[in-house]
Amino acid sequence: MALGEEIRQAREEKNLSQEDLAEQLGVSRQAMQQILLLKVSLR
């Protein structure tokens, strides 16, 4: 299973939207989408 898929699954188990997760992580929703698609570096 890809990292993005694991994050999505964990997020859904906790009933969080992408926007909720992004807010908790201190990033924008758009940044969260790119992270989930593995299009950005997590440095």
pLDDT tens-digit profile, the chain (43 residues): 678 888 889 999 999 998 999 999 999 999 888 888 876 666 6
pLDDT at position 15 is 97
Q: State the total domains in the chain.
A: 1
CB 31 within 8 A of CB 22: yes
Structure tokens at 13: 């188990």
Report if residue 30 sits inside a domain.
Answer: yes
Q: Which domain holds residue 28?
A: 3-36
Residue 43 domain-assigned (yes or no)? no
Where do we find the tokens 């906790």?
14
Tokens describing residue 18: 């992408």
pLDDT of residue 12: 94
- 38, HSE (Cβ side, Cα atoms, 13 Å): 7
Q: Is residue 16 part of a domain?
A: yes
Is 15 inside any structural domain?
A: yes
Calculate helix-pair angle for 29-36, 18-25, nearest 10 degrees.
100
Q: Is the pTM of this model over 0.75?
A: no
